[in-house]
Amino acid sequence: MYKSMYMTCQKVWLDRYVVVLISEVSANIEGLIVQFSLSLVGTHIDAVYHTSVVLGGIEYFFGQGIQTSQAGTTHHGNPMEVIDIGHTDLPMELILEYLESLKQIYTAESYDLFMKNCNNFSNDFSMFLVGKGIPDHITSLPQTVLNTPFGQILRPQLDSAMRSITQAPTPTPPAQMGTSSTASDIVTLTSGGSINKASQAKVINATTLQDVSLHLDAARSRCAVILFTSATCPPCKLVHPVYEDLAVEVGDKATLLKVDIDKAYELASEYGITATPTFITFLESQQENRWSGANPSQLRGNVSLLIQAALHPHTKLNVQSLLGVDLRPILFTKLPPLEKLKAKMGNVAEEPIIKSVLAFIAARDSSTNSVVTTVPDLSAFNIFLDESKNLPLENLFPLIDLLRLALVDPRISGFFAELGNFSTIARLLDRINSQSPCPYSLNLVALHMCCNLFSSPIFKRLILQDAVFSSLLVRLLSASFLDDSHSTIRSSAASLAFNIAAANHKLRKEERHQGLPNDETVELLASLFETLGTELIDADTIKQLVAVIGLLVYLAPQDGEIFDLCMAMDAEGLVKEKERITGADQVVKDVGRVLLAKGLSNH
């Protein structure tokens, strides 16, 4: 069995398959529970399960917070069953962001054997990765026990007896299984139990034209270097250590490839290599420079110039206050009296799935039941929402508010994000956008609901990359900014615009690609400039709008419509004029006096 599990994990490492390991919690304790379960609780229990999720050779489980280990090396020993539940194409960065959001839910202090255990975590994580959870007979077992009189009586004793096992420390640090020719993600735990990714860039060995093409294409928005070398070339050995050090120093600013021409004749012929070492540099996939010789100073100098050419001129501007803005999303988490919300729903509140969602929200926000976190049937909730999109507006409002409250939980926002084209929420937004004018209460709760979509890292990425959905958001924002009767609408719209701009800024800055489609960015900026030009907004809203403008303009394509719009609408003068209202706010000064004054000067 263990050999089979190990082979499965090797498959996981290579192919991004996701497996669930099912183990016995403890052979001794489990034996007693199984033996006496019928007489004590009136129900026969076959086993007491511990589950974990394996991805990329790393085993993820919940005990002392979210923990990780090399697959198959935890204190729970060999698994009794291995379930291959599917394949994920989600990028590792996104998965780690999601786990980071879950650490606020799955803390060591919140562990509860019956209501919040390893199986709840495995179910949530697998739902996120592949859209389906672990077997129902595992997740339902605690409630089966609690539904019996003796189960309730024995609950404290069982919870206490199992603590030393379920919350034992991780025996070994996480490690990778298998090898890869590319820089790999290594998952570690900080002392506080959070999950971080440590990536150490390294030279990528390429042997085929396809290898080189793929890596150059991946680096098309920045730069790359290819070193052509040979095992029989003594000068090459002098530059190998320098080249390896450079890869670590430049990190993700450049991709460094190495080709051994003794093993890659086709590549040597394609690039006309007649001597080694030879270096070729690429800027945005186009050949930029070429030289031969083992001169470390020349190598370092040329790579430095290459990276400078690849970097956007905005990186040379002193806008530290703008770049220091807290990019965490603005969420609207205030809980209204649930009885009043139910009353507004009318008969809808009696639907089983609505009762379940209301109970989940009440339990989640109750200090006495803070450990209850099992999410309701999200598939049923999605179907109900989709069927309710044409409800009368007075009935649609409380349903959108219920969705707003549910989306605060990243597990729920992550679920809706993974639905194709955000179909359900997109149809709800389309209905709301079709109202002219949109009723105040519906408009406000729609803005708050959209802000809460950003509780999940997967939504933050996918929102920006889906032209249809991002267009729906910008339409909602544009109409909301035009509302000159309600300051709360404009303020809430500014919050949603900030969430969009912050997510887009992170993509540009960290991954060097445009997230929000260009047309939507231009339309959003035009609405922001128009709103900023009115006298109807207060100082705090002005500060937020200027920060949004700054985040949308910073690192924007230099030859695109964004710069043209800024010039045409005199964005510099518009922002500078608002300094008299915002006083000495440094972000406003950074955007007006530096970014818009100097960052557009070469356009």
Are 128 and 262 part of one and the same domain?
no
Per the domain annotation, does 43 fall within a domain?
yes
Are 594 and 475 part of one and the same domain?
yes
Query: What is the average pLDDT across 588-598?
Result: 95
Among residues 9, 118, 438, 450, the one annotated as catalytic is 118
Q: Give residue-wise pLDDT tens across range 487-501.
A: 999 999 999 999 999
Per the domain annotation, does 297 fall within a domain?
yes
Question: Is residue 444 over pLDDT 90?
Answer: yes
Q: Give residue-wise pLDDT tens across range 339-374.
A: 999 999 999 999 999 999 999 999 887 754 444 467
Per the domain annotation, does 193 fall within a domain?
yes
Residue 565 tokens read as 């719009």
Q: Give residue-wise pLDDT tens across range 526-547.
A: 999 999 998 777 899 999 999 9
Query: What is the average pLDDT across 165-173?
Result: 58
Are 233 and 131 part of one and the same domain?
no
Q: Which residues contact 31 (CB under 8 A, 6 or more apart)?
A: none
Look at residue 92 in the predicted model and tell me its pLDDT. Answer: 66
Are 217 and 191 part of one and the same domain?
no
Query: What is the average pLDDT across 237-265?
Result: 90
Are 288 and 318 part of one and the same domain?
no
Are 219 and 187 part of one and the same domain?
no
User: Which residue range forms the structural domain that includes residue 174?
Assistant: 2-197
Question: Is residue 76 over pLDDT 90?
Answer: no
Are 208 and 160 part of one and the same domain?
no
Question: Is residue 276 over pLDDT 60?
Answer: yes
Are 296 and 322 part of one and the same domain?
no
Judge whether 603 counts as a catalytic residue: no
**pLDDT band (50, 70, 90) for residue 522:** very high
Are 487 and 562 part of one and the same domain?
yes
124-128, 451-455, 462-466, 584-588: which range is least confident on average?
462-466
Look at residue 46 in the predicted model and tell me its pLDDT. Answer: 66
**90 vs 96: CA distance, rounded Å:** 10
Look at residue 176 in the predicted model and tell me its pLDDT. Answer: 35
- Final residue before a domain boundary, out of 197, 217, 241: 197
Q: 238 to each of 230, 292, 295, 389, how far by Cα in Å?
A: 12, 13, 9, 67
**pLDDT band (50, 70, 90) for residue 10:** very low
Per the domain annotation, does 427 fall within a domain?
no
Look at residue 344 in the predicted model and tell me its pLDDT. Answer: 92
What is the pLDDT of the chain when averaged over all its residues?
A: 81
Among residues 9, 50, 233, 438, the one annotated as catalytic is 50
- Final residue before a domain boundary, out of 165, 197, 229: 197
Does the pTM exceed 0.85?
A: no
Look at residue 173 in the predicted model and tell me its pLDDT. Answer: 42
What string of DSSP letters covers 209-235?
Answer: HHHHHHHHHHTTTSEEEEEEE-TT-HH
Look at residue 439 in the predicted model and tell me its pLDDT. Answer: 94
Hey, which residues does 86 pair with through a beta bridge? 18
Look at residue 311 in the predicted model and tell me its pLDDT. Answer: 77
Per the domain annotation, does 387 fall within a domain?
no
Are 180 and 217 part of one and the same domain?
no
- Final residue before a domain boundary, out of 282, 311, 340: 311
CATH of the domain at 275: 3.40.30.10
Per the domain annotation, does 438 fall within a domain?
no
Cβ atoms within 10 Å of 185's Cβ, excluding its own: 17
Are 168 and 41 part of one and the same domain?
yes
Are 154 and 6 part of one and the same domain?
yes
Per the domain annotation, does 27 fall within a domain?
yes
Residue 101 contacts residue 456 (beta carbons within 8 Å): yes
CATH of the domain at 156: 3.90.1720.30
Comparing 14 with 576, the larger pLDDT belongs to 576
**80 vs 139: CA distance, rounded Å:** 17
**Total tally of structural domains belonging to the chain:** 3
Q: Give residue-wise pLDDT tens across range 96-121.
A: 778 877 888 888 888 887 778 888 89
Look at residue 525 in the predicted model and tell me its pLDDT. Answer: 97
Judge whether 233 counts as a catalytic residue: no
Helices 393-407, 440-452: crossing angle, 10 deg rounding: 20
Query: What is the average pLDDT across 173-178?
Result: 36
Question: Is residue 550 over pLDDT 90?
Answer: yes
Per the domain annotation, does 453 fall within a domain?
no
Comparing 162 with 331, the larger pLDDT belongs to 331
Highest mean pLDDT among 86-90, 204-208, 382-386, 547-551: 547-551
